[in-house]
Copies of this chain bind each other. A is one copy, B any other.
Amino acid sequence: MTLLSGLRVVEGSAFVAAPLGGLTLAQLGADVIRFDRIGGGLDYKRWPVVENGVSLYWAGLNKGKRSIALDLSQREGRELATALITAPGENAGLFLSNFPESGWLADAALRKHRPDLVYVNIVGNPDETTAVDYTVNASSGIALATGTVGSSLPLNNALPAWDIATGLNAVIAMLAAERKRRETGAGEVVKISLADVAFTMVANLGFLGQAQVMHENRPPLGNDMYGAFGRDFATSDGGRVMVVAISLNQWQALVAATSVEEHLSAIERAFDADLSLEAERYRCRDAIAALLAPWFAARTLDEVRTELDEHGVCWGPYQTFTQLLEEDWRASTKNPVFGTVDHPGIGEVLTPASPMRLPDAPPVPPACSPLLGTHTDEVLEDVLGLSPTEVGRLHDQGVVSGPEPIAES
């Protein structure tokens, strides 16, 4: 059995955070049922999309889930969603959503049908006003600490890191609340806001403490690592690598690999520095980098790879997504967390399973995402116990739909 075999979670969601939460649960073996309005939610056609209109974004974040499409503007559609969310069973009654917790989706309204519901609701701001990863990141301080040295303009990161952290926190809330329900029998509503996740995290990481106690705003450092030695270097063939030396072992490995030991002692004299100390290596980073750069510039990426690996240096090549796919075994089917899966409307794509490896348990294999409403009938029959006749009537009355056809390309 997988880690979460038997658990059933209903997901009402769009965009990244909540769908990622459901994906994470599905990849651990839970039965995750995502419901959407007929035609799809706000993220069903989100870019990137392939020629026939199928979204790679939606396909990526909804793998291994079951999809049901309901007309939520009809009372009966809302009742079906409510029945799914509050269906009986000790492993059910778990709802993950980033829809506004109001109206028929208000906690009180749902809890009438199942008092021990576990309801995890993702919101933007703590007062439930709108915020998204981009606006929260802008306000977090991180965008003004990202960029080239000396830059005074903020820079966003291409990764929606706050969505990711929020979605994973939602999974933690779900599992923790379900654990408590097993002990006490009581349900729970948990609210998680993107802004709280972001701003508590910059506090946890010491950025806010540094500003409050030391009156310092961490400046943009380009690709340097704060407080230790970490820097990017160009190779002779147009490659670029990130090299990190935090621990003394890592530092000694880098020094040995690049044969700079005797010149380093001159740098120690020049800067009155003790380079066996992490903070001193940070202080002297530009001088150290100037000493190391010619070593990298004289070698191809392959030569750098061989020599750094021989010495156990902590480093990585900068790669485009294409290079990651084509040149790195870690993102290929040589890595058992990846497989090749045929996605409807897209075709064969390298597809990840959960990053959690269980050497002693069977993995949940990589799965494709459903199309919208692929499992409408199956879910209505299996979970709600409706007859095929009743399901047919719901289709006829436009209360349910699916599977959504793929447009001719």
Contact = CB atoms under 8 A, between A and B. Distances in A.
Contacts of A214: 48, 50, 56
A175 B180 contact: no
B212 A350 contact: yes
A368 to B, nearest CB: 11
Report copies per complex. Answer: 2
Contacts of A60: 203-206, 209
Interface in A192-213: 192-193, 195-197, 199-213
Given A197-B355, A356-B173, A218 B168 contact: no
A292 interface: no
Given A189-B359, A204-B20, A337-B200, A346 B209 contact: yes
A276 interface: no
Given A191-B359, A324-B202, A210 B316 contact: no
A325 interface: yes
A83 interface: no
Interface stretch (A74-82, A239-247, A255-263, A395-403): A239-247
A361 B188 contact: yes
A194 to B, nearest CB: 9
A220 interface: yes
Contacts of A210: 48, 56, 321
A57 B227 CA distance: 11
Contacts of A221: 158
Nearest to A282: B47
Given A165-B165, A192-B357, A200-B352, 4 more contacts: A63-B204, A126-B337, A161-B161, A189-B358
15 contacts: A15-B246, A24-B169, A24-B172, A47-B226, A47-B282, A48-B210, A126-B357, A138-B242, A154-B232, A154-B318, A159-B205, A168-B168, A168-B171, A188-B361, A212-B325
